[in-house]
Amino acid sequence: MGKKQKQKIVLPPELPPEVPDEEIQVSDEDLQFVDENRDYAGFVSNLDTKSITKHVSRVADVKEDALESMYERRLRKKAVDKDKEDNVLEVDPVDALPVKTLDGKLYYQTVPKASKKSDGKSEAEATAASEEIAAGTSMVKLTKAEKRAKLKKLRKEAKKKVKETAQSEEVLQAPQAEVLDEVKRELGAEEANEKKRYRLAELGTALLVDPESNIKSLREMLQIAKDGDHSIIILGLKSLLAVFKDILPGYRIRLPTEKEQEMKVSKAVKKMRFYESTLLTSYKAFVQKLIALEQQAVYKRVAMRCICTLLEAVPHFNFRESLLAAVIKGISSQDDVVRKFCCGTVKSLFLHEGKHGGEATVEAVQMIADLVKAHNCELHPESIEVLMFLSFDEDLGKPESSEVDNKTKMKNSKKKRKFEEPNKLSVNENKKIRQEKISKTREEVKADYKAASFAQDVAERRRMQSETLSAVFQIFFRILKHAVQPRSVASTGGESGSHPLLVPCLNGIGKFSHLIDLDFMADLMNYLRKLAGGSSSLDGSRETDSHCLTVCERLQCCIVAFKVMKNNLDALNVDLQEFFVQLYGLILEYRPGRDKGEVLAEALKIMLCDDRQHDMQRAAAFIKRLATFSLCFGSAESMAALVTLRHLLHKNAKCRNLLENDVGGGSVSGGIAKYHPYASDPNLSGAFASVLWELNLLTKHYHPAVSTTAASISTMNTVNNQVSHSNVSPQQAFMQLSVEQESFIPASDMKRASNKRKRGSFPSPISTALKDELISLPDENAVKKKLSEHFSILDDIVENDRLKAELYRTNMSLKLYEQYKKQKRKTR
Mean pLDDT along residues 638-655: 89
Note whether 196 and 224 are within 8 A (CB). yes
Nearest to 406 by CA among 373, 353, 371, 442: 442
User: Residue 406: what pLDDT?
Assistant: 52
pLDDT attached to residue 165: 73
Residue-averaged pLDDT of the chain: 76
- State the pLDDT at residue 768: 46
* DSSP category for residue 101: -
Sort strands 106-107 and 110-112 into parallel, antiparallel or unpaired.
unpaired
User: How confident is residue 565, by pLDDT bands cut at 50, 70 and 90?
Assistant: confident
pLDDT band at 477 (very low <50, low <70, confident <90, very high): very high
The arithmetic mean of pLDDT across residues 310-314, rounded, is 92
Q: Give the separation between CA 340 and CA 358, rounded to whole angstroms.
A: 22
pLDDT the model gives residue 627: 92
| 567 vs 747, higher pLDDT | 567
More confident site: 593 or 288: 288
By the 8 A CB rule, do 282 and 217 touch?
Answer: no
> Which of 99-113, 174-188, 760-774, 810-824 has the weakest average pLDDT?
760-774
Q: Is 107 helix (H, G, I), strand (E, B) or coil?
A: strand
Sorting pLDDT into bands at 50, 70 and 90, what band is 555? very high
What is the residue-wise DSSP string for 732-759?
HHHHHHHHHTTT--PPPSHHHHHHHHHH
The pTM for the full model equals 0.62
* C-beta separation of 64 from 15 below 8 A: no
Over the stretch 662-689, which tens digit does the pLDDT of each residue have? 544 555 455 566 788 788 888 888 888 8
Q: What pLDDT, on a 0 to 100 scale, did the predictor assign at position 93?
A: 66
Residue 777 pLDDT level (bands cut at 50, 70, 90):
very low
pLDDT for residue 776 = 47
User: If residue 234 lies in a helix (H) or strand (E), which one and from where to where?
Assistant: helix 230-247
What is the H or E stretch that residue 106 is in?
strand 106-107
> Can you tell me the distance from the alpha carbon of 9 to that of 4, in angstroms, rounded to the nearest whole number?
9
Q: Is residue 770 predicted with pLDDT exceeding 50? A: no
- pLDDT tens, position by position, 23-50: 677 777 777 877 777 776 666 666 666 6
pLDDT for 291 equals 93
What gap in Å lies between CA 450 and CA 444, rounded to an integer?
A: 10
364, exposed or middle or buried, with CB in 10 Å at 0-12, 13-18, 19+? Answer: buried
Q: Return the top range by mean pLDDT from 72-86, 404-418, 563-577, 580-594.
A: 580-594
pLDDT, average across residues 785-814: 83
Among 600, 492, 473, 505, which residue's Cα sits nearest to residue 536? 492
Taking residues 795-817, what's their average pLDDT?
85
SS3 110: strand
Q: What is the mean pLDDT of residues 70-84?
A: 74
> Which tops the pLDDT comparison, 40 or 235?
235
Give the pLDDT confidence score for residue 76 in this predicted structure: 78
User: What is the structure's pLDDT at 493?
Assistant: 40
* pLDDT: which is higher, 12 or 339: 339
Q: Is the pLDDT of residue 422 over 60?
A: no
- H/E segment holding residue 616: helix 616-632
317-328 average pLDDT score: 93
Q: Above 70 in pLDDT, residue 354? A: yes
Nearest to 221 by CA among 207, 233, 203, 234: 203
* pLDDT tens string 593-639: 888 889 999 999 999 888 667 788 888 899 999 999 999 888 889 99
Report the distance separating Cα 255 and Cα 273, nearest Å: 8
Of these ranges, 57-61, 402-406, 518-522, 803-807, the one predicted with the greatest mean pLDDT is: 803-807
Top-confidence range, 523-537, 538-552, 572-586, 643-657: 643-657
Out of 244-253, 339-348, 742-751, pick the least confident. 742-751
Higher pLDDT, 53 or 737: 737
Query: What pLDDT sits at residue 592?
Result: 85
**170-179, 352-361, 463-472: least confidently modelled range:** 170-179
The 3-state DSSP class for residue 89 equals strand
Residue 765 has pLDDT above 50, yes or no: no
Specify the pLDDT at position 56.
Answer: 53
β-bridge partners, 106: 100
CA dihedral 160, 165, 167, 173 (to 10 degrees): -170
Interval 716-734 mean pLDDT: 68
What's residue 368's pLDDT? 94
Domain boundaries, given as residue ranges, for the chain: 614-742, 783-828
Residue spans of alpha helices (H) in 37-143: 38-41, 49-61, 64-87, 123-138
CB 232 within 8 A of CB 196: yes
Say what the pLDDT of residue 664 is. 45
